Structure formats: C-alpha cells, structure tokens
Structure 1
Amino acid sequence: MTREVLIKKTIDNLAKLPDQKLKEVSDFAEFLLNRIENQLLTEGIQKLVSDSKTYKFLEREEDLYTVNDLKERYK
C-alpha cells in the first residue's frame, strides 16, 4: 500500500470516529512525532559529541589498568 493510499484510508477512518476517539488518535500521533523528534535530537547530539575534539586527549592517554590488574574475571 502506498503512502498516499494509506493516508487517504486513515483520513476516511478518522472521519467516522466519535470526537473522543479522534482526540485519542490525535494524541497518539503527537506522541509518535515527539518520539521521532527526540530520537533525531539524540542522534544529532551523539554525532556532535563523537565529531568533537573535546575528548580527543583521552585517545593519547595511556591505560591506567590492564587485564593483569584484575582480581577476578567474569565470563
């Protein structure tokens, strides 16, 4: 089913709903859009941080501990 057909079918179904159910559908659609927006913001922030040179100095820092420093290993 194409996007246009799905949108048309959804609009037709929405027109048949009572007001209270229409409000529920509207709230749910808003929830989905907010979730997508939050995911995009999170991904954008992660990309900014990963591209940032702020923590590059940590790559040059020698390791403080090695596997030999472990008292116990978990599998």
Structure 2
Amino acid sequence: MTKQAIITRTAEVINQLPDAQAAEISDFVEFILKRYEEHKLTQGIQKLTAESQAFAFLHDEAELYTEADLKEVYDG
C-alpha cells in the first residue's frame, strides 16, 4: 500500500468517526510526528558527533595503565 493510499484510507475512516475520536487521532498523529522529529534530530547529532574532530585526541591517547598495575583483580 502506498503512502497516498494509506492517507486516503485513513481520511475516509476519520470522516466516519465522531469529532472526539477524530481529535484523538489528530493528537496521536502529532505525538508520532514529534517522536519522529526527535529521532531524526538525535540521529543528526550522533552523525555530527561521530564526524567531528573535537574528540579525536581520545582515539590517539596512549594506554596509561595495564593489568600489571592492578593491586587487586576482581573475579566477579
């Protein structure tokens, strides 16, 4: 089913509902849209952070400690 077919079918169903239920559907659609926009924003921020050189120095940091430096080893 194409997006346009889904929209058409949904509009037909909504037109058959009382105003209160149609308003609930509108509220739900706005909620879904907000969640989608927040997800896209988060993805964009993650992409920018991953491509940024701001924390590149952390990748080149030398290991300061090894297991030999431990006084006690956890056997959990």
Instruction: Give TM-score scaled by structure 1 length.
Output: 0.85
The aligned runs of 1:26-37 (5 Å cut-off) are 26-37=26-37
Q: Distance in 2 between matches of 1:73 and 1:48?
A: 39
The aligned runs of 1:7-46 (5 Å cut-off) are 7-46=7-46
Structure 1 residue 66: Cα displacement: 3.4
SS at match of 1:53: coil
Show the counterpart of 1:72: 74
Cα distance change of structure 1 residues 66 and 23 upon mapping to structure 2, 3 Å threshold: farther
Structure 1: runs of 5+ lacking an equivalent: none
Show the counterpart of 1:5: 5
Q: Distance in 1 between matches of 2:41 and 2:14?
A: 30
Output the amino acid matched with 1:44.
G
Cα distance change of structure 1 residues 21 and 72 upon mapping to structure 2, 3 Å threshold: same
Percent of paired sites with the same residue = 41
Paired residues, what number?
Answer: 74
Q: Which moved more, 1:47-56 or 1:3-12?
A: 3-12
- C-alpha RMSD over aligned residues: 1.7
Instruction: Give TM-score scaled by structure 2 length.
Output: 0.84
